[in-house]
A and B are shown apart, each in its own frame.
Chain A
Amino acid sequence: MDYKAFRQDIRAWLEANCPASMRTPAKQEEQVWGGRNIKFPSPDAKLWFERCVEKGYCVPDWPVEYGGAGFDTEQTRIFKSEMRKLGCRAPQVNLGIWMSGPAILEFGTEEQKREHLPKIARGEIRWCQGYSEPGAGSDLAGLQTRAVADGDDFIINGSKIWTSYADESDWIYCLVRTDPDAPKRDGITFLLFDMASAGVEAKPIELITGERHFCQTFFDNVRVPQKNALGVINQGWTVAKRVLEFERNMMSDLGSETGSNVEPREAALHYIGKDNNGAISDVILRDAIARHEIQKRAFDVTQQRMIDEFTNGAGNMNTALIFKYCGTEEEKRKFELLLKIMGEQGLGWRDHQHFTESELNTTIEWMGAKTHTIAGGTSEIQLNIIAKRALGLPGVLS
């Protein structure tokens, strides 16, 4: 494989096919979520999506027969880095791409792969994640939603909570208890089903940001074929853990997927100003900005170092355990810092007369960052995992 030529081809294709308006950071409402009710914020977004779907670029590393581009690891890395360089938006966002799709690739039967993967790749089905329950958050394995066998089907009863976008999703991958007598991690099944099934109801819950992303999701005698289990019945915990790894990797991204991309350094020049030597005139903030930049650099190069170490045959998987924690915690600090830099302009609320879009978004993202150290496993649970897996400390719950 001539990766150099590959890189050139990719760049040329992106330059020719990614519309200019798709080369700026996407705001929340500009993201294209796949699904039966797919919506496009602009004609360019539609064009970009369609061009990517045709090439399999929504899921570049998936095999061609399942709707991907069939790229190997290095090609995928090159593809992503070229996308980043040009600032190209993700053509489609979908929990199917990040989570259920990779899980189906790894654990699915051929029939499941053929049924689900192309629909994800083409943005036809949107997925949500039914893990947490009112009584089972950090202690996920304590989940109580029941699935009882009835002929070839399961009958599901119970409720999930914090299910992001359940009200807008088409399918759910859901953890259910199929053996209540087994030890808690051994009686769980990973089940895929249609949210349009009779007995499913999703009630939105408002976040502190004012958005209504997540829901409480109720199951009242929902009938699902047993063949919809992904992996072995009662051994869903293995699949569930793998999906959590996908989720945490995705969330480690320091908020750059949807970030307002306002950098503290630039913000300070605008909201604080410079002294006669050209330095940011508030010395306390200047130091804090430097601290943030150093942390961000260290974070970014850790990913690079890991890849280099693996390439050189001396990789350590434990390094990967730090990303979710470090990324989301630093994101939180970054937005606290931005608020201090911006003063009143960082505290506007739906006031389009006195605040710019970017200012209002920064405020929302400041609040949003609070959710990222909770969603996908809290920071405390991440530290527990590090204590247990990287350090081998005794008696850790995670």
Chain B
Amino acid sequence: MTLAFNEEQRTLKDTAREFARNQSPVESFRQLRGGAVTEGFSTDIWQSMIELGWTGMTFPEAYGGFDFGYMGLAGCMEELGHTLVASPLLSSVVLSGSAILFAGTEEQKQTLLPQIVSGEKRIALACDEGFHHQPTAISATAVKEGDTFLLNGSKARVIDGLSADLFIVAVRTTGNAGDTNGISLLLLDASTPGISIEKTSLVDSRNYARLTFNNVCIPASHLLGEMHNGFAALDKALDRGRICLAAEMFGGIQEIFDRTVQYLKERKQFGVLIGTFQALQHRAAHMYTEIEMCKSILMLALDAVEKDSGNAPQLISAAKAKISETYELVSNEATQMHGGIGVTDELDIGLFLKRARMSAELLGSARFHFSRYATLEGF
């Protein structure tokens, strides 16, 4: 077990840090959030990420990747979290790419993975349907008739669902919402007749869509993985997404924590720096202890992912839960400790506060993961 980045991974992380600070500081996110760009991210920045090779990090060489692993990618995600960089890394590379890698036929992998790596295609995973993340609660149905599936139903919170080229849709082919059995994955071209794609505006100003399927016809060959048995690959892909999202969140946590500690050393009231007040010192010190533990649990989960250990799912749940709770704590404290300026739009803290709540809900809230952890641990 290694709970530290190796030298190569550190170099990559440093590159990502430089990239985020110089090419895509928080100011860039501010420009995007007005909604001027449909994609919700800068296509130039995305192109640069592709050129840096980040889109290929988690795929074997046979599919155009270079097998650098999740430690490496998560290090990048963490750095991107520091400046709120919006990009389809999570949606296209991590969630969709790994679903294809885990479930796809050789031919599907050969065709699609290189297209993800090169950025030729952007793929979005459509899984959630209700108010909360609950990947077994799938009601959208696909009925097989001859050579086609007939798809009906709807999807919510499809990350980067606007202007995606292709969707991976989790559908129910048998059983009832809540069953793990009976879920299948389908590849769906975004231009297929019968799909409606609607933008939803959420507090973190990123690209989210709701999809509605009205008798959408999908060739039977577009089944990804086994009929009725898609859940295992789906859950494993979601787990890759969860840990990468947790890494991004961890970057955000550190950023606002550092900025807050800095403020405690700059702002004066009553003739002294406010960092002099023990009421604030202890809370800052407490956050420090939580952040240290977040880092450990994140590294533990990443290590398990790299090794594909049997207990990776519960460790990922542990990391996502812990980091979601800590992001809530730190974003609230950062706001409060800045006083009046903390609740202005001008200060960046508010942007992180909004991203904190959104990313906590995405791919499972702390409560979802507490419960999943307990189930997986058998109690």
A contact residues vs B (CB 8 Å cutoff): 132, 135-139, 142, 161-162, 205-208, 210, 214, 271, 282, 284-285, 332, 336, 339-340, 342-345, 347-351, 353-354, 363, 367, 370-371, 373-375, 378-380, 383-384, 397
Contacts and interface: CB of A to CB of B under 8 A. Distances in A.
B287 to A, nearest CB: 15
A282 B370 CA distance: 12
B339 interface: yes
A184 B254 CA distance: 38
Majority SS at the chain A contact face: mixed
Most chain B CB within a 10 A radius of its CB, from A282, A285, A353, A354? A354
B130 interface: yes
B330 to A, nearest CB: 14
Interface stretch (B59-67, B200-208, B239-247): B200-208
B379 interface: no
B344 interface: yes
Contacts of A332: 332
B343 A343 contact: no
A387 to B, nearest CB: 9
A375 B130 CA distance: 37
Contacts of A363: 203
A142 B367 CA distance: 45
A25 B204 CA distance: 28
A349 B343 contact: no
Interface residues of B, number: 42
Given A343-B132, A348-B201, A374 B365 contact: no
Interface in B334-351: 335-336, 339-340, 342-346, 350
A343 B340 contact: no
A336 B339 CA distance: 19
Contact of A344 (B198, B342, B346, B361): B361
Contacts of B156: 344
A139 B345 CA distance: 23
B322 interface: no
Nearest to B276: A397
Contact of A339 (B200, B343, B350, B357): B357
Given A139-B269, A271-B131, A350-B201, A206 B345 contact: yes
B342 A374 contact: yes
Nearest to B208: A344
B336 A208 contact: no
Given A207-B344, A282-B367, A348 B339 contact: no
Given A206-B345, A349-B202, A374-B339, 4 more contacts: A136-B269, A208-B344, A284-B367, A343-B131
B162 interface: no
B172 interface: no
A142 B274 CA distance: 14
B344 A344 contact: no
A348 B202 contact: yes
Contacts of A351: 200-202
Contact of A138 (B130, B198, B339): B339
B343 A374 contact: yes
B346 A378 contact: no
Interface in B348-371: 350, 353-354, 357-358, 361, 365, 367, 370-371
Interface string B225-239: 000000000000000
A285 B367 CA distance: 8
B286 to A, nearest CB: 15
B347 to A, nearest CB: 8
B340 to A, nearest CB: 4
Contacts of A379: 336
Contacts of B367: 282, 284-285, 340
Contact of A208 (B131, B280, B345, B361): B345
Interface string B57-92: 000000000000000000000000000000000000
